């Protein structure tokens, strides 16, 4: 089956056909570094990490660009309120985003450009739009430049809106606009704004509007046409609609496909500062191990809304425990047998079919957990050939999703100290139990097994000797 994705512009599932065979160019709207990251930022970044991983697993060479918006109205406002330089606040916030991404094992993008490094490219697009009759400098001499929405018949095509019914653009003062829906491409410097937040331009000192930043950076790093543009559902309008309009009006084909991930709710309500229910990434990562957070954020379909409520992290942790318990159990049982290391790390066809179907992670996880169940059954029945095969498949599936608990990024490449200590203690207790059984001291043997059970360690006797696993 061909890899399919839900194209937000077409509003349909479509087959993915890259512009260049074997390669994928993907641009993802990254954060506006006005403040610390929240849970929604983590979810969005993880969605495109999963897309990138699946494309690469499918044999594509992926170029992923995720920008950093480091100059924006909100950056300036928050810096002024905090009494610090805008660039200092932006950089400090950027470091917080980077740390949160790293903790969740979100792969670094191919390029992560800051908006402030591409101002000449933004000015070049603006100049082309003015020349083509799709933009105009404000007649009041303020230095503002606006996109003329009435000049572009396709304005509204991404979100399927009639421009006459759109709300007014609220990104700049409307006093010099021809139409309230026109949006800012360049913002003339205001007296109260710091000089360091402005650049020279043909239209006067100023800074770029938000929308033009992504058009310039995607073109600079991926070219005038590329495969996929992604971002949160809340960016479809006005941000992505305006990006598409200005880039195509300037003569660029722009993105071939559009992907949008769902948002995050808390106890059934949309997460927002006004409701006081925003969850900062740093706080959320204190609630559970980072691997558990990754599993939780990845487990829902990327286009669905995630609703955070009590108990969901515990469910994710239990699911991960089942995966880890099987992998460790299989490794112990297969060690020193001819089956050790023979399980080929290859994802099974049902898993691949689910991932090819618009990145259907919930269905893919169902395949993974069924393989865990079957693998445990194979170990119970001493079918070591089947156990080894399933162990390889489980590791491959978990690896593709970035949730393999035994992978180096989560375990440091080997068992951590606590796991080693646990294995040593359990091994000694099992040796004592075997000695007691050999001496026909079954009361002592049962007592040792009971002590292990009280600690959550399940002992299973087999023809090859006792095997143990963590309950769960």
Whichever domain contains 76, its CATH number is 3.40.50.620
Residue 277 counted as domain residue: no
Greater pLDDT, 450 or 417: 450
Give 192's contacts (C-beta < 8 A, 6+ positions apart). none
Answer with the one of 231, 261, 291 that is the final residue of a domain.
261
Range of the domain at 64: 4-261
Residue 242 counted as domain residue: yes
Answer with the one of 261, 288, 312 that is the final residue of a domain.
261
| Rounded distance between C-alpha atoms, residue 254 and residue 222, angstroms | 10
| pLDDT digit string, tens, across residues 290-346 | 999 999 999 999 999 999 999 999 999 999 999 999 999 999 999 988 988 778 899
Here the tokens at position 432 are 């004592």
Here the tokens at position 162 are 């009639």
| Rounded distance between C-alpha atoms, residue 409 and residue 393, angstroms | 19
Residue 333 counted as domain residue: no
Residue 129 counted as domain residue: yes
Answer with the one of 217, 246, 261 that is the final residue of a domain.
261
Report yes or no: 103 and 284 within 8 Å, Cβ to Cβ: no
pLDDT of residue 415: 46
Residue 175 counted as domain residue: yes
Residue 323 counted as domain residue: no
Q: Is the pLDDT of residue 37 over 90?
A: yes
| pLDDT digit string, tens, across residues 280-292 | 999 999 999 999 9
SS3 199: strand
| pLDDT digit string, tens, across residues 152-191 | 999 999 999 998 888 888 887 777 899 999 999 999 999 9
Residue 369 counted as domain residue: no
The count of domains in the chain is 2
Burial letters 36-69, b for 16+ CB under 10 A, else e: bbbbbbbbbbbbbbbbbbbbeeeebebbbbbbbb
pLDDT of residue 394: 98
Report yes or no: 222 and 109 within 8 Å, Cβ to Cβ: no
Which run of H or of E encompasses 66? strand 61-66
pLDDT of residue 463: 53
Task: Name 269's bridge partners.
Answer: 266
Residue 320 counted as domain residue: no
| pLDDT digit string, tens, across residues 193-206 | 999 999 999 999 99
Residue with tokens 């006797």: 461
């Amino acid at each position: 089956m061909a890899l399919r994705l839900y194209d937000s512009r077409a509003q349909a599932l479509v087959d993915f056909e890259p512009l260049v065979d074997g390669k994928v160019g993907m641009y993802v709207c990254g954060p506006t570094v006005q403040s610390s990251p929240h849970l929604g930022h983590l979810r969005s970044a993880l969605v495109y990490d999963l897309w990138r991983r699946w494309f690469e697993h499918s044999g594509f060479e992926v170029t992923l660009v995720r920008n950093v918006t480091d100059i924006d109205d909100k950056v300036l406002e928050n810096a002024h309120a905090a009494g610090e330089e805008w660039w200092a606040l932006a950089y400090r916030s950027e470091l917080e985003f980077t740390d949160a991404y790293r903790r969740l094992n979100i792969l670094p993008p191919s390029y992560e450009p800051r908006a402030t490094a591409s101002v000449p490219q933004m000015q070049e697009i603006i100049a082309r739009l003015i020349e083509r009759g799709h933009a105009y400098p404000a007649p009041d001499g303020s230095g503002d430049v606006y996109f003329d929405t009435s000049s572009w018949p396709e304005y509204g095509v991404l979100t399927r809106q009639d421009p006459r019914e759109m709300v007014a653009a609220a990104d700049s003062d409307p006093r010099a606009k021809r139409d309230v829906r026109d949006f800012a491409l360049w913002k003339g410097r205001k007296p109260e704004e710091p000089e360091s937040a402005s650049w020279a331009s043909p239209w006067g000192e100023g800074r770029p509007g938000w929308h033009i930043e992504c058009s310039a950076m995607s073109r600079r790093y991926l070219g005038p046409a590329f495969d996929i543009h992604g971002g949160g559902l809340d960016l479809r309008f006005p941000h992505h609609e305006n990006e598409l309009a200005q880039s195509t009006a300037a003569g660029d084909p722009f993105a071939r496909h559009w992907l949008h991930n769902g948002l995050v709710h808390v106890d059934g309500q949309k997460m927002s500062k006004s409701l006081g229910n925003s969850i900062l990434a740093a706080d959320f990562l204190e609630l559970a191990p980072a691997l558990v957070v990754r599993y939780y954020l990845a487990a829902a379909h990327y286009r669905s809304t995630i609703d955070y409520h009590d108990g969901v992290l515990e469910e994710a942790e239990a699911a991960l425990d089942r995966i880890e318990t099987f992998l460790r159990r299989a490794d112990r049982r297969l060690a020193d047998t001819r089956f050790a290391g023979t399980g080929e790390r290859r994802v099974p066809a049902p898993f691949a079919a689910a991932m090819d179907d618009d990145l259907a992670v919930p269905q893919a996880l169902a395949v993974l957990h069924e393989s865990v169940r079957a693998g445990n059954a194979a170990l119970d029945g001493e079918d070591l050939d089947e156990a080894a095969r399933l162990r390889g498949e489980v590791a491959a599936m978990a690896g593709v999703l970035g949730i393999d608990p035994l992978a180096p990024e989560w375990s440091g490449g080997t068992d951590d100290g606590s796991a080693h200590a646990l294995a040593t203690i359990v091994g000694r207790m099992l040796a004592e139990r075997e000695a007691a059984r050999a001496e026909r001291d079954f009361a002592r043997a049962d007592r040792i097994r009971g002590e292990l059970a009280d600690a959550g360690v399940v002992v299973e006797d087999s023809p090859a000797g006792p095997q143990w696993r963590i309950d769960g």
